């Protein structure tokens, strides 16, 4: 049934052209195997995570994460629906924050449980002066390019010798969880890897402080119990995609010594799972806003160029870096051409530390929808930041990591499920449907 005014012959012809163009964009790209291991190549040994299966496609992952996200949301609703009700009223009524989807609030509750279980003991055991120093060094590296190398060196030493040895500790069983929340948030802020997560936990702290103490304690205990359930069930549902994490932590990571990215790279599989479901659920929550944007851009990480980065002739204008089509085999070139056919621009982001600079312009441009392609561990904080800036956004995780800065000394070209990226950009049904 057609809704709206009748189409003219010209309109019908235009629709047929657009449909043919859309179908062409959705046609699978032939898998390529190159010496640089471009997107779609055979599985590379030693990958920390890998969303692809034996056929080189990550379509199965998107089906799995969709099913598990539905299961997770039902579990949280059953255990903590009343908690989400109260929190929603608080952030929208008392804190005056724009409304978010029910699923996004559920992810925040899961993040609260993750923070207690993964880092609560470390926060409890870390001396206060270390937290203050780490916070000041993190502030310094963000605001002074000259002092950044020294700040990173000192932060690396603090992390290596004081923060990391305490990561495996658990909060004392007799310690009231509510009393530990301010210290936990301060620790996450000082660590430098949880800025956006800490901002959301500040909202939870505000809400919990409004409740009777016993009720607030029960909320935190519920969040921790949900996280325990999540860790067990996600390992069964999504564990096949993180088989390389334990080997990486015991091998390359353990031999690295003192580095600024120790906390970022040292995360356990459960935090990869959290990013997986966060990508799916946050995309759902922002889908309607994204669909209403007439302009679209894609932010692609520089690591997708792989070895081609050495001779890359990308155009640079201020902070904008765009593909110059200098190499037909480069994944960024291919994605740029594909997105151009959909009317979208592609910008290269050399490193995640520069992500915020690319977002500032679109914070005041509600007509632009932003899709970020990112390493799995950058998905959750990146999604939180785009949401906080009011950007209509979507995210697509890299199928596997490969940058030399964090994961592999030699570096390899990373890849993304290009069909999924097209589906995200066009609103076509996902791989799971």
Strands 295-301 and 344-349: parallel
pLDDT of the residue at 22: 41
How confident is the model at residue 20, as a pLDDT? 45
What is the reported pLDDT for 404?
78
State pLDDT tens for residues 24-47: 444 444 433 433 344 444 456 689
pLDDT at 97: 95
- 115: nearest Cα among 167, 79, 161: 167
% of the chain with per-residue pLDDT over 90 = 64
Q: What's the pLDDT at 30?
A: 40
Check residue 428 and report its DSSP letter. P
Q: Which residues contact 366 (CB under 8 A, 6 or more apart)?
A: 293, 390, 392
Long-range contacts of 268-272 (CB under 8 A, 24+ apart): 268/118, 269/235, 269/239, 269/242, 269/245, 270/114, 270/118, 270/230, 270/231, 270/234, 270/235, 271/114, 271/118, 271/377, 272/49, 272/238, 272/241, 272/242, 272/245, 272/376, 272/377
d(CA 221, CA 208) in angstroms, rounded, equals 12
Which residues, including other chains, have CB under 8 Å from residue 418's CB and lie 6 or more apart? 29, 39, 334, 335, 338
> Which residue reads 């860790």 in tokens?
231
pLDDT in tens, 272-288: 999 999 999 999 999 99
Q: Give me the pLDDT at residue 41, please.
A: 46
Question: What pLDDT score does 25 carry?
Answer: 42
User: So what's the pLDDT on residue 428?
Assistant: 65
Q: Which two tokens stand for residue 255?
A: 């031999």
Q: Which of 162, 170, 155, 158 is nearest to 119 (CA)?
A: 170
Could you tell me if 335 and 324 are in contact, meaning their C-beta atoms sit under 8 angstroms apart?
A: no
User: What pLDDT does residue 1 have?
Assistant: 34
pTM of the model: 0.88
- What structural domains and CATH numbers belong to the chain? 36-58+292-426 (3.40.50), 61-271 (no CATH)
pLDDT for residue 365 = 86
pLDDT of residue 49: 96
pLDDT < 50 positions in the chain: 1-42, 431-433
């Amino acid at each position: 049934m057609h809704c709206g005014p009748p189409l003219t012959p010209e309109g019908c012809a235009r629709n047929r052209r657009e449909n043919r163009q859309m179908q062409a964009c959705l046609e699978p790209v032939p898998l390529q195997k190159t010496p640089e291991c471009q997107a779609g190549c055979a599985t590379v040994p030693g990958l920390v995570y890998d969303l692809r299966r034996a056929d080189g496609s990550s379509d199965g992952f998107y089906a799995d994460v969709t099913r598990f996200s539905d299961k997770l949301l039902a579990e949280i609703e059953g255990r903590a629906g009343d908690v989400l009700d109260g929190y929603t009223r608080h952030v929208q009524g008392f804190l005056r924050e724009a409304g978010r989807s029910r699923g996004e609030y559920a992810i925040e509750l899961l993040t609260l449980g993750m923070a207690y279980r993964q880092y609560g003991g470390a926060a409890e055991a870390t001396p206060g002066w270390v937290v203050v120093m780490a916070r000041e060094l993190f502030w310094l590296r963000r605001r002074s390019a000259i002092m950044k190398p020294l700040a990173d060196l000192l932060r690396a030493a603090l992390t290596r010798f004081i923060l990391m040895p305490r990561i495996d500790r658990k909060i004392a069983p007799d310690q009231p969880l509510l009393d530990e929340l301010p210290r936990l948030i301060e620790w996450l802020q000082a660590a430098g890897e949880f800025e956006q997560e800490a901002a959301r936990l500040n909202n939870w702290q505000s809400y919990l402080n409004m409740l009777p103490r016993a009720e607030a304690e029960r909320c935190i205990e519920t969040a921790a119990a949900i996280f325990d359930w999540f860790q067990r069930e996600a390992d069964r549902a999504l564990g096949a995609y993180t088989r390389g994490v334990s080997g990486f932590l015991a091998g390359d990571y353990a031999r690295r010594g003192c580095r600024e990215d120790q906390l970022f790279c040292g995360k356990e599989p459960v935090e990869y799972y959290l990013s997986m479901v966060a990508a799916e659920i946050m995309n759902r929550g922002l889908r309607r806003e994204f669909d209403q944007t007439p302009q679209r851009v894609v932010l692609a990480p520089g690591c997708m160029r792989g070895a081609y980065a050495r001779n890359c002739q990308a155009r640079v204008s201020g902070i904008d870096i765009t593909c110059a089509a200098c190499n037909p085999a480069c994944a960024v070139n291919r994605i740029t051409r594909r997105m151009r056919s959909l009317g979208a621009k592609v910008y290269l982001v050399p490193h995640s530390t520069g992500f915020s600079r690319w977002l500032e312009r679109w914070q005041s441009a509600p007509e632009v929808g932003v899709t970020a392609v990112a390493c799995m561990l950058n998905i959750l904080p990146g999604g939180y930041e785009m949401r906080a800036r009011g950007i209509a956004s979507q995210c697509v995780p890299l199928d596997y990591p490969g940058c030399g800065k964090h994961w592999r000394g030699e570096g390899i070209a990373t890849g993304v499920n290009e069909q999924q990226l097209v589906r995200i950009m066009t609103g076509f049904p996902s791989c799971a449907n």
